[in-house]
């Protein structure tokens, strides 16, 4: 009986040892599964964080690109406005310069009697030239009228002679 108790004891010990080994193996598998699940969850979080970071970076880059374009457009508009102002200022300057020149010319004309005399002579010459042109035109028109009358007279004379025959 002593042998059987010992065998019983050893069998219980072996069963206990086998149970402990199974439990340890199960706990090891469970621990490894938890670790893998945690790693998978961690990997998913890492992937999600990476995607979120990439999306944020892309949004930031788009924002920067838009700002750069807006700044370039604003700079271009500012340049165009500046050129327009310069052009307007240059046109105004030229207008004022032309006015000053005209005033100076008028002042010189009014103050210089020789220029007034020359202007009067020039006007008189233009008027005389126009009168001469009108007289020449009148002479040409009168000559054409005389020629028409002479032609009419000849035609009438020719008709009269034909009728007499």
pLDDT of residue 115: 80
Q: Is the residue at 132 inside a domain? A: yes
Mean pLDDT, rounded, for 108-118 = 82
Confidence (pLDDT) at 78: 95
Sign of the Cα torsion 8, 14, 20, 23 reads negative
> Do the domain assignments include residue 136?
yes
Domain annotation covers residue 57 = no
Between helices 2-111 and 113-164, what is the axis angle to 10°? Answer: 80
Q: Which pLDDT value is given to residue 66?
A: 94
User: Does 158 fall in a domain?
Assistant: yes
Residue 143, in any domain of the structure: yes
**What pLDDT, on a 0 to 100 scale, did the predictor assign at position 153?**
94
How many angstroms separate the CA atoms of 40 and 32, rounded? 12
Residue ranges making up the domain that contains 152? 113-165
- Does 124 reside within a domain? yes
- Indicate the number of domains in the chain: 1
Torsions phi, psi of 112, nearest 5? Answer: -105, 110
Q: How far apart are CA 122 and CA 116, in angstroms?
A: 10
Q: Check whether 37 has a pLDDT greater than 80.
A: no
Mean pLDDT (the chain, rounded): 89
């Amino acid at each position: 009986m002593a042998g059987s108790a010992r065998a019983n004891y050893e069998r219980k010990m072996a069963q206990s040892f086998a149970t402990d080994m199974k439990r340890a193996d199960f706990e090891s598998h469970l621990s490894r599964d938890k670790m893998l699940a945690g790693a998978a969850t961690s990997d998913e979080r890492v992937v999600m964080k990476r995607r979120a970071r990439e999306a944020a970076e892309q949004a930031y880059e788009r924002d920067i690109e838009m700002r750069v374009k807006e700044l370039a457009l604003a700079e271009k508009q500012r340049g165009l406005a500046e050129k327009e102002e310069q052009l307007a200022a240059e046109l105004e300057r030229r207008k004022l310069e032309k006015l000053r020149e005209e005033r100076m010319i008028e002042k010189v004309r009014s103050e210089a009697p020789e220029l007034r005399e020359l202007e009067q002579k020039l006007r008189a010459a233009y008027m005389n030239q126009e009168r001469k042109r009108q007289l020449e035109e009148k002479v040409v028109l009168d000559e054409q009228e005389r020629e028409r009358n002479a032609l009419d007279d000849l035609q009438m004379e020719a008709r009269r002679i034909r009728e007499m025959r």
